[in-house]
Amino acid sequence: MQTVTVALGERSYPIFIGEQLLGQRACFEPYLAGRQVCIVSNETIAPLHLAQLEKTLAGFDITTAILPDGEKYKTLATLETIFDRLLAARHTRKTTLIALGGGVVGDMTGFAAACYQRGIAFIQVPTTLLAQVDSSVGGKTAVNHARGKNMIGAFYQPRSVVIDTATLATLPAREFAAGIAEVIKYGLIVDADFFGWLERSMPALLARDSVALTHAIKVSCEAKARVVEADENESGLRAILNLGHTFGHAIETATGYSEWLHGEAIAVGMIMAVDLSARLGWIETSVTERLIALVRAAGLPVKAPAAIAVSRFIELMQVDKKVLDGKLRLVLLKALGEACVSDAVAQPLIESAIRDHCE
């Protein structure tokens, strides 16, 4: 088992990475606030992994909340399901929520934990690659709104993150590829050597080789932990973790959170952002070419849907958490492995980067 620590003073927490950790009571018990536990999962993941976790936590007072599966259910209405279960079972402030599932389950469970009785403990148990390398770490919790993604939420850190790589064995290939998009992101924004490793190791990753997979997850978690430690509430540096997300969220919103997976949209969004960086003269066009090749090798899309007009893209991008004083701020690259945030990019240049990467 590998351990990465997110160092946030009294709120520091471990990220455990290894195989068969769902069966390791020591990964859970020290981080539970009391005897009451509510495990939140969804209709797809619960039949696969819930029984194992319940067995591991035998002796605790366990409630379960099973949500519908899919990004389109990441709403305030679905959040009520969690609150209903907590209240019906009379959960107190000493309860602990456990998020067993992908990013949608993790985001909603974390947000529920931040809200229930003004804040209770929670643990992340991510079962998708995307959640393991990104959304489970750092304390961002939220639900979507029809007008914008993740616009209603809170910064709220978990007590621990338990990454059982064995859960990836049941992950569909499309979902697995979507997670690789966020892994690629870390190479782009903070670690050029890791980007090169991904170019060489993509076949091993796609084959779910345990050594390659553990390395990719650990490096990704370490990269995110360091950024979160420096800027927990995204007042500056942490925004670089959103490379491609302003473009990608526009794709997700325009397609109703149902046609494209988050990682698929982010893959295309990163291509647009990196291409825009090249158009500004900050990086060589070869970086864009390498990224497109890597995204394609991962089995991810490299073009946005043609049905989304450029004007609609821009409209949706304006509903973004990084917009400040009416100015659209974009995460771009100064170099491979070095990201920055800029609000000084002319709109025609943004439009051309979008247009050239739509079907």
- pLDDT score of 325 more than 80: no
Task: Answer whether 2-170 and 173-355 agree in fold.
Answer: no
Beta strands in the chain (DSSP E): 2-6, 13-18, 36-42, 61-67, 96-101, 121-126, 140-145, 148-155, 160-164, 330-335, 338-342
- Region 70-93: what's the mean pLDDT? 96
Cross-strand pairs, 331: 341
Segments making up each domain of the chain, as ranges: 2-170, 173-355
150, containing H or E segment: strand 148-155
Pick the CATH number of 2-170 from 3.20.20.80, 3.20.20.70, 3.10.450.50, 3.40.50.1970: 3.40.50.1970
Q: Are 130 and 100 in contact (CB under 8 A)?
A: no
pLDDT of residue 24: 97
pLDDT of residue 258: 86
Q: Are 356 and 292 in contact (CB under 8 A)?
A: no
Tens-place pLDDT, residues 148-204: 889 899 999 999 999 999 999 999 999 999 999 999 999 999 999 999 999 999 999
pLDDT of residue 147: 85
- Region 11-16: what's the mean pLDDT? 97
Q: How high is the mean pLDDT of the chain?
A: 95
Please spell the DSSP secondary structure of 13-41, one letter per residue. EEEEEETTGGG-GGGTGGG--SSEEEEEE
Taking CA atoms, 87 is separated from 79, 91, 102, 107, in Å, by: 13, 6, 24, 20
Tens-place pLDDT, residues 229-242: 999 998 888 899 99
Looking up tokens 């932990």 gives 225
- Region 200-214: what's the mean pLDDT? 96
pLDDT of residue 319: 79
pLDDT of residue 324: 66
Per-residue confidence band for 121, with pLDDT thresholds at 50, 70 and 90: very high
Residues of the chain above pLDDT 90, percent:
90
pLDDT of residue 234: 86
pLDDT of residue 96: 98
pTM for this one? 0.92
- Region 310-337: what's the mean pLDDT? 86
Residue 183 and residue 169: Cα distance in Å, rounded? 18
Q: Are 323 and 342 in contact (CB under 8 A)?
A: no
Residue 135 and residue 181: Cα distance in Å, rounded? 13
Tens-place pLDDT, residues 108-119: 999 999 999 999
Tens-place pLDDT, residues 30-66: 999 999 999 999 999 999 999 999 999 999 999 999 9
Sign of torsion over alpha carbons 193, 198, 204, 207? positive
pLDDT of residue 190: 96
Q: Closest Cα to residue 39, out of 49, 30, 27? A: 49
Catalytically active residues are: 118, 140, 182, 224, 234, 238, 242, 245, 249, 262
- pLDDT score of 290 more than 80: yes
Per-residue confidence band for 321, with pLDDT thresholds at 50, 70 and 90: low
- Region 95-123: what's the mean pLDDT? 97
- pLDDT score of 257 more than 90: no
pLDDT of residue 108: 97
**173-355 under CATH 1.20.1090.10, yes or no:** yes
Tens-place pLDDT, residues 293-304: 999 999 999 999
Find the length of the chain.
Answer: 359
Q: Are 350 and 288 in contact (CB under 8 A)?
A: no
